[in-house]
Structure 1
Amino acid sequence: MVKHVAMIMDGNGRWAKAKGFERTKGHKAGAETIRTIALEANRLGIEVLTLYAFSTENWKRPPKEVEYLCKLPKMFFNKYIRELNEKNIKVMHIGELERFPSDTVKVILEAEKQTKDNTGLKLVIAINYGSRREITLAAQAYAKDVIDGKQPLEIDEDTFGSYMMTNGLPEIDLLVRTSGEKRLSNFLMWQLAYAEFVFVDYAWPELDEARFANIIEEFNQRNRRFGGV
């Protein structure tokens, strides 16, 4: 049974351009898909859904698109936070919020506050997140604790893993990337060590409940040996 699904929501801009729209319309459609998949994952009893919403590299995109992406969390939560709360979904984030507009940060933190006691799906938004950055920050934090006498110089994987932003969440079982690309793009590299990968050709806005169910079924058919026989 899959407990933790991570998803790279790729292809929003290309989907929009193929239809003759501005790239921002693709991101808006992608936000609707977030709602669809979060509700379906919650219905299926999945414990955690981690979505790559904005990477540390996305700041390189055209300023107009970056500006829209920075506003999107506020638009999404203002529209759907009541529904998410009613469905017992808990909103969380990983990444560094400080670079985002203050009103965007405020609405994300408010969404977390409103849903903190919910016991259904944990909807984790990876925002201004990069895996190399996360690992670097973890190493810095551990080194500081060694200097301060809080940790021994020797380290094991479990201890180092506790310095990751996903600490406390179950291991990732499944990574899904839409739009035909087959790379991790600096996403959860530590956490994906033993995850199953599914790459699909259609864009993120084209993902629906039936397609998500097919992905979960494909995962269920795999034999996970974790290095054993």
Structure 2
Amino acid sequence: MYKHLLQETRLKTLELYKALLKSSTQYNNLGNAIRQQFKANKYTTSRKKTLALLTEAEHVLNFLERGNNGDKRIVSKVNEYVQKYTKPTQPLPDEPKKKQKRSKIVERKSYQVAITVRHALGFEFKRVRGWRQPVQTSMMIKNRVKATQKKIDKYNDLKLQLEMVRGERLFLQNLKCLPKDRLYNYEDNIKWAMEAYSIIKDTQKQHTKTNLEDDL
């Protein structure tokens, strides 16, 4: 019983709210006043007060409909009342602008000299003694290492394939069923592919040799 009554009251309130907003279009700022009143009494739980508010809303709706039907006296009275007792809605304040942090410029000290550093893969970059390595430099090194490692892995895979082809040649030769090209076409294709990656291996060997000479 209570839930049924509550549901009917809610539906009646929504109908009145929509009807009041629809009837208030010809009046200045009346829609804002209606919204404020409904929000102020949104959490009213007293049955007596709720019925009184609904009755008052119905009277106001009838009053507004009379003004909409052509009663100019009612329109002027409502506009005067709204202008006198209702505060117009103020626009929202602009968000304060965030101050941009200026990057701190740190001067180098006398012992902080830029030095050239060579990576294990052979490429060079600048560093300053006593300064933390920039993130951009670290990411650059990381990406280069990944790309180079992929090429090295590909070179090793091709090397294994070449050994497999040579072993297959010996196996077929023992069975006396070796094809006419003796699998040299496969071997040549693998060698051509390995030439593209052999530069990396040569660079690593040369750099390792240079490091050994420096250590000695």
Q: TM-score range by the shorter chain?
A: under 0.3
Larger RCO, structure (CA 8 Å, separation 6 or more): 1
- Between Structure 1 and Structure 2, whose CA radius of gyration is higher? 2
Q: TM-score, normalised by structure 1?
A: 0.21
Whichever structure has more helix as a proportion of its residues is: 2
Q: TM-score, normalised by structure 2?
A: 0.22
